[in-house]
C-alpha cells in the first residue's frame, strides 16, 4: 500500500526539543526500513507480492490517474509479479500498455521506453512469439547503441537478447555473429570473465551446437566451467549448472566416457552441497543412470 508523505508522518510526533530536520531524517530511515522488511516478506510469497503490487496499482489509478508516473511504475511491477507466478500472457498485456504510455509521455527513444520494450520482447520470446519480439529487440539494440555506445553493458545485453531471438527464429548465422561480437566486446573491455560475458558465451555455444559446430560449442562450455570454477568456486550453483551443460554436450556427440566423468563429479558435488534428496541431485543421478545404461535397443 502507498505511504503518506513524510510531513504527514511527522505530524504529531515532532518533539519541541528536537529539530524538525533531524526528526524527519530519522523518520525517513524508519519508514525505509519498514518498507524494506515488507518487501522481503512479500518476496518470499509470489502470490502475496502480486496482491500487494495490484493494490498499489489500484490506489495509483484512483488517486494519481492511470497515466501518472506512479501508475505506470506500479503497472510494470504488477507485470513483474505476474511473471513470477507464470502468468505471462497477462504480463505481456500490461507490458504493452506500459510501452504505449511511455512512448507518448517520454518518447520512443527514451531509456525508460527502451527498458520497457526489452521486457515486453523478452516475455513475447519466452512464449514463442519470436516474430513479434524481434522488431522490439532490434529497436532496443539500436536505441542503446545510439544512446550509450556499442560497448555499454546494456547495449551488450540487448545484443545478447536479439542473438537468442534470432536463434529461436532459425537465423543461426546472424545469431552466432551477434553473440560472438558481444563476447568479443566484453573481452575487449577486460570483462571476459564476468558473469554477463559467460552467459553470452553460453548462448553462443547453444547456437554453435545447433549449427553443428560441436567442437567449438564444447570448447565454449569447457571455458565457462574453467572460469566459473576459478572465480565462483567448484560447488557454486552456476559452476555446477555449466558443468551439467558440458556433460550434456559431450553425451550428445557420443563422448560418453568423458561425459560420465563429468556427471559423476557433478553428482558428488551436488550431493555434498545440496543433499542427496535435492531435485538437482536427483536429476543428476537420473542423467548418470541413463548414460550408464546406454541407448535402448530393440530385442
Close Cβ partners of 5 (under 8 Å, ≥ 6 residues apart): none
Tens digits of residue pLDDT in 193-229: 999 999 999 999 999 999 999 999 999 999 999 999 9
- At the top level of CATH, which class does the domain 213-294 belong to? mainly alpha
Percent of the chain with pLDDT over 90: 74
Assess whether pLDDT exceeds 50 at residue 13. no
Q: Which of the four pLDDT bands, split at 50, 70 and 90, describes residue 40?
A: low
Close Cβ partners of 116 (under 8 Å, ≥ 6 residues apart): 76, 95, 98, 99, 102
Residue with cell 532459425: 170
Mean pLDDT calculated for residue range 117-132: 95
User: Which residue, 164, 67, 54, 72, is CA-closest to 115?
Assistant: 72
Amino acid at each position: 500500500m502507498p505511504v503518506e508523505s513524510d510531513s504527514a508522518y511527522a505530524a504529531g510526533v515532532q518533539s519541541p526539543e528536537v529539530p524538525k530536520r533531524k526528526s524527519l531524517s530519522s523518520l525517513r530511515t524508519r519508514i525505509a526500513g519498514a518498507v524494506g522488511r515488507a518487501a522481503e516478506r512479500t518476496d518470499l510469497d509470489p502470490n502475496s507480492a502480486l496482491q500487494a503490487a495490484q493494490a498499489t496499482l489500484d490506489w495509483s489509478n484512483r488517486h494519481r490517474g492511470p497515466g501518472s508516473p506512479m501508475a505506470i511504475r506500479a503497472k510494470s511491477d504488477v507485470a513483474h509479479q505476474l511473471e513470477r507466478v507464470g502468468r505471462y500472457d497477462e504480463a505481456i498485456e500490461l507490458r504493452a500498455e506500459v510501452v504505449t504510455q511511455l512512448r507518448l509521455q517520454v518518447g520512443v527513444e527514451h531509456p525508460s521506453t527502451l527498458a520497457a520494450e526489452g521486457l515486453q520482447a523478452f516475455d513475447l520470446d519466452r512464449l514463442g512469439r519470436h516474430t513479434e519480439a524481434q522488431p522490439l529487440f532490434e529497436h532496443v539494440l539500436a536505441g542503446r547503441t545510439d544512446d550509450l555506445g556499442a560497448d555499454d553493458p546494456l547495449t551488450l545485453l540487448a545484443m545478447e537478447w536479439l542473438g537468442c531471438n534470432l536463434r529461436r527464429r532459425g537465423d543461426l548465422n546472424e545469431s552466432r555473429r551477434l553473440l560472438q561480437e558481444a563476447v568479443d566486446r566484453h573481452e575487449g573491455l577486460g570483462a571476459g570473465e564476468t558473469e554477463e560475458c559467460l552467459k553470452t558465451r553460453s548462448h553462443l555455444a547453444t547456437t554453435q551446437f545447433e549449427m553443428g559446430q560441436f567442437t567449438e560449442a564444447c570448447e565454449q562450455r569447457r571455458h565457462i566451467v574453467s572460469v566459473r570454477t576459478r572465480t565462483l568456486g567448484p560447488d557454486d550453483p552456476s559452476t555446477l549448472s555449466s558443468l551439467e551443460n558440458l556433460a550434456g554436450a559431450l553425451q550428445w556427440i557420443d563422448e560418453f566416457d568423458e561425459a560420465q566423468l563429468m556427471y559423476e563429479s557433478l553428482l558428488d558435488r551436488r550431493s555434498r552441497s545440496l543433499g542427496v534428496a535435492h531435485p538437482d541431485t536427483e536429476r543428476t543421478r537420473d542423467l548418470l543412470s541413463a548414460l550408464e545404461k546406454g541407448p535402448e535397443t530393440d530385442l
